[in-house]
Structure 1
C-alpha cells in the first residue's frame, strides 16, 4: 500500500479546520490509479480539550460564506448567525446616517465559536461518511512538545502529549499539565501547518523565532445584551424615526467606533445585541496578560481569546470607560444600551510586523500565525481563504513538485493580497483623531469617503482563489 501524504495541523481554529477540510476534499491532479498517487492523512492537534465558548462575533463576508458553502459548512453555520445585509455608519454627534457599507450583500454576523463548531461538525461527519477515520483526525488536549526537522528530505517529526482530563484548558502550551492521564505521541509528517494564532508555537520554534508579536496598546471590549422587539422600537437615532440598529450599526465618534449588531440565531425566541468597542489600554493588567508560567516564556491559552472581566469594580470601571467615550451626542438611548451589558470580555489586540517569514522547508504558517493584523472586518474570512488557497496549491502534490516548491507557490499567490490588506488595516487603525467638533465633522466626511471607496471596490468579494492559475 502506498504511504500516505501526512499533514499535521497545529490549531483547530478557522484557519486549521478550513485547511484540513479543503485539502481533504481537493483531489490530487495526478490520476488516482497512478503509482505516484498517495492518500492524504491529516491530523489536527488542538491544545484545548473542546471547542471554547469564549469569543466575540465575527463578520462573515460573501467571499468567506462562499468558501464555507464549498467546504460543506455553510448550511450548518447560517442558522446560527444573523444576516447582515449592510453596515450603517451613524454619527455620534448628530445621530444621523453617514454612509452605508456594502448594501445588499450576503453577509453573516455570527459568534466565532459557531464558525469553529460548524467546521468541526463538517469534518467529523465527512470522516464518518467515507469510512476512513484516519483521513482527518482531530486530537484535543494535544500539547506540542517538540518540532524537529529531520535530516535530508525526511519531513518533520512532531511530538505531543495528549492531556485527556484534569488540569485547565488555560494551561500553557509547553507546560503546566494538570492531568494524570498523559501519553507522549510522535508523528512524522510530510507537511506541518502552523494555524495556532498570533502566539504561534510553530512560528516561535521553527519558522521565525525572531519575529515576536507586539501589543498595539488597544483592547477590544465586547459583550452581548438581550434586546427585545420593544427595546428595538425604543432605541432610535436622532429624531426617533429610525431604529438605532437595523442589522449592524457603527456609531462613529471621531476616531472611536462602537459596533452594535443584531444577533438572533434560527429558533431563538429573543434576539440579542452584540456590542464591541476599541479602548486604549497602555498595557494589559498582569493578571490578564500573563500567569506564572507565561512569565517564564510560555504562552497562556487564555491570552488567545481574551478574558472575562470579573469583579464588580472591574465591571463598573470598564462600563464607565466605554460610557465616557460615547457620552453626549445625539443618540439618547446609547447610555441605556451600554449600561445593560453586565458581562464584558477584553481582547488585547496584538499584531505581527508586515512581511516576515511564512514557511521553512516543510512548515507553513496560516492565518494569524503568519500575518496577524488589527481588526479589519474580515480577519476570519482571510484565515479561511488561506486554507482554501493552500488546498488548491497542494493539488500538485503527486506530480513531482516538492513540498518546498508548493509552499513557494502558495506565497507567490498570497503575499500581495495580504500585504494590501495589512496596509489598509494599519491606515484605519492608526488614523489620528482631529480634536474638537470641527475634527468630528472632518472625521465624519473621511468615514463617508472611505465607505464610498470600499463600496466602489466591493468586487473584491467576487474573486475566488480556487481559480487562480498555479505558478509554472
Structure 2
C-alpha cells in the first residue's frame, strides 16, 4: 500500500467506473518518488456499476492492466475467457474471416506476449476495484452528484447536490459520455448525440453438449445488423449475445434493463434481424438469452476541448465514439499516458515552481489526439457495417470485410504492440 505523501498532489476524480479507477491507479503508479498523490474518487451512483455486457480486451489493453496491477487479479480470480482469434461469419453462409491475436509464435502479441480476453464489464470493474483497494492514497465516495465546478489559478472545487464540496489541485473528468465535468465546466455546448445504433444484449446459459459455430467469439453479420456471440468465462457455461443494430432512440441515454414484456420485445427484435440465420445455434442462443439490456450508442464530435487549466477529461468524457474493437484499451492508454505527462511536469516543477499544470495537459493532448482521431475513423466504419442493408448491400459488405481485415491487419497489430509506458512524452 502507498499512503499519500504530503508533497503529492491532491487529485479529485469524477467517475467511479473503469476510466476513473484506472486513472487513480495510473496516477499512483507513475507518481514521482516521494510524491504519491491523495486521490478522491466521487461516483454519482450509490455503488459502482458492475452491470453491462462483455468487452474484448485486446493485447494493448491487457498490457496496460498488467502495468496497473489489475491483470494479475483477473488471472487469480479466473475472470474472462482467453481469445486466440475472433471469427467473422455471414449468418447465411458461414465463416468469412478471422482476426488473430496469436502472434508469430502462437503465444500472443508483444513482449511479453498477450492475446485477448473476453470479459464481462462487471468482472472487469471488480478486478480493477480490487487493485484500487490495495492503495491507501485512493478513496471512493458513492452517491455524490456534482452540481457546480469552480476553478481558479490555485485549485478547483466541486460542489455536490447535498451541499458538500471538495477542493483539490487537479480535477479529472472520467465520468463518461454524459460527463458532468464537460457539460458543466470544460465545454458545455459539446453534447452527446445518438448514433441511431443500439446494443441489445443478454446472456444465454448453455450446457456442455451445446454446439456453437465458434471457438470463443464470433461476429455474425446479417442484413439488419451484427450479432456478437461469445463465451466470457473459462467455464464456457454462458454465451454473451449482443446485437448492434439500427434502433429508434429508446428515450434513455443510459439504456435500461428489459424485463417482462420488454424483454420479450427485445428478444423479438433480435429474432426479426437474426432468426433467419443458416447457422442453427444463433436462433437457439437468442431464444435462451436472459437478462436483456438495451443500450443506445452515443458519440461526441470528433474534435473538442479536453481541458482547462486545472481540469482534464479522459476516456469517453473527452472522446466517446461507437465501439470499434479497441475502445476499452484506448481508455487504459489515456490514463497511463496522461499520468506520465503529469509526472514529468512534477519533476520539472521542482526546479521551476512557476511552471503551469497546463503544460502537462498540452503534452498529453499533443501525443494523444492523432491516435484518437484514427479511432474515430475506425468507429465510423463500424457504424456503416452494422447499419441495415438490403441483399445486395449485405453481399458487398461480406465481400469487403475479409479484404478490410487483411488490409488493416498491420495497423491493428501496430496498436496491439503499443506500450505507452515507453513512449517519449516529448518534454
Q: What is the TM-score with the length of structure 1 in the denominator?
A: 0.81
1:199: Cα distance to partner? 0.5
2:29 corresponding residue in structure 1: 25
2:416 corresponding residue in structure 1: 461
Q: Aligned pair 1:353/2:301, yes or no?
A: yes
Query: Aligned equivalents of 2:50 and 2:37: distance in 1?
Result: 31
Q: Spell out the pairing of 1:233-244 with structure 2 (5 A cutoff).
A: 235=212, 244=213
Query: Aligned equivalents of 1:256 and 1:357: distance in 2?
Result: 33
Query: Aligned equivalents of 1:225 and 1:218: distance in 2?
Result: 22
1:131 corresponding residue in structure 2: none
Q: Aligned pair 1:308/2:307, yes or no?
A: no
Query: Aligned equivalents of 1:16 and 1:42: distance in 2?
Result: 11
Q: Spell out the pairing of 1:26-65 with structure 2 (5 A cutoff).
A: 26-28=30-32, 32=34, 38-65=35-62
Secondary structure, aligned partner of 1:98: strand
Moved segments of 4+, more than 3 Å:
1-4, 431-434
1:427: Cα distance to partner? 2.3
1:278 corresponding residue in structure 2: 244
Query: Aligned equivalents of 1:73 and 1:335: distance in 2?
Result: 36
Query: Aligned equivalents of 2:146 and 2:335: distance in 1?
Result: 21
Secondary structure, aligned partner of 1:59: strand
2:19 corresponding residue in structure 1: 15
Q: Spell out the pairing of 1:126-205 with structure 2 (5 A cutoff).
A: 126-127=135-136, 135-150=137-152, 153-160=153-160, 184-205=163-184
1:39: Cα distance to partner? 4.2
Q: Is the 8 A contact 1:254 1:443 kept in 2?
A: no
2:323 to 368, 375, 380: 375
1:229 corresponding residue in structure 2: 208
1:255: Cα distance to partner? 6.3
1:165 corresponding residue in structure 2: none
Secondary structure, aligned partner of 1:348: strand
Q: Deviations over 1:70-100 (max 9, x none)?
A: 1111011241111111110111121x21000
1:382: Cα distance to partner? 1.1
1:2: Cα distance to partner? 5.0
1:103: Cα distance to partner? 4.2
Q: What RMSD, in angstroms, separates the aligned Cα atoms of the two structures?
A: 1.9
Q: Is the 8 A contact 2:177 2:317 kept in 1?
A: yes
Q: Is the 8 A contact 2:225 2:246 kept in 1?
A: no
Structure-2 change in CA distance of 1:137 and 1:445 (3 Å): same
Q: Is the 8 A contact 2:322 2:382 kept in 1?
A: no
1:456: Cα distance to partner? 2.8
Q: Aligned pair 1:451/2:420, yes or no?
A: no
1:326 to 274, 281, 284: 274
Structure-2 change in CA distance of 1:103 and 1:462 (3 Å): closer
Greater Cα radius of gyration, structure 1 or 2:
1
Unaligned 5+ residue runs, structure 2? 103-107, 109-114, 350-354
1:5: Cα distance to partner? 1.2
Query: Aligned equivalents of 1:251 and 1:39: distance in 2?
Result: 47
Query: Aligned equivalents of 1:23 and 1:445: distance in 2?
Result: 45
2:95 to 97, 111, 115: 97
1:434: Cα distance to partner? 5.3
1:439: Cα distance to partner? 3.4
1:6: Cα distance to partner? 0.9
Q: Aligned pair 1:442/2:391, yes or no?
A: no
1:317 corresponding residue in structure 2: 265
Unaligned 5+ residue runs, structure 1? 33-37, 128-134, 161-173, 175-181, 236-243, 290-302
Deviates more, 1:254-263 or 1:17-26: 254-263
1:294 corresponding residue in structure 2: none
Query: Aligned equivalents of 1:145 and 1:453: distance in 2?
Result: 47
Query: Aligned equivalents of 1:16 and 1:334: distance in 2?
Result: 36
Query: Aligned equivalents of 1:430 and 1:103: distance in 2?
Result: 24
1:240 corresponding residue in structure 2: none
Query: Aligned equivalents of 2:156 and 2:381: distance in 1?
Result: 38
Q: Is the 8 A contact 2:17 2:175 kept in 1?
A: yes
Equivalent residue pairs, number: 402
Secondary structure, aligned partner of 2:134: helix
Secondary structure, aligned partner of 1:465: coil
1:108 corresponding residue in structure 2: 117
Q: Is the 8 A contact 2:62 2:116 kept in 1?
A: yes
Query: Aligned equivalents of 2:331 and 2:116: distance in 1?
Result: 17
Q: What is the TM-score with the length of structure 2 in the denominator?
A: 0.89
1:384 corresponding residue in structure 2: 332
Query: Aligned equivalents of 2:11 and 2:243: distance in 1?
Result: 39
Query: Aligned equivalents of 1:86 and 1:367: distance in 2?
Result: 26
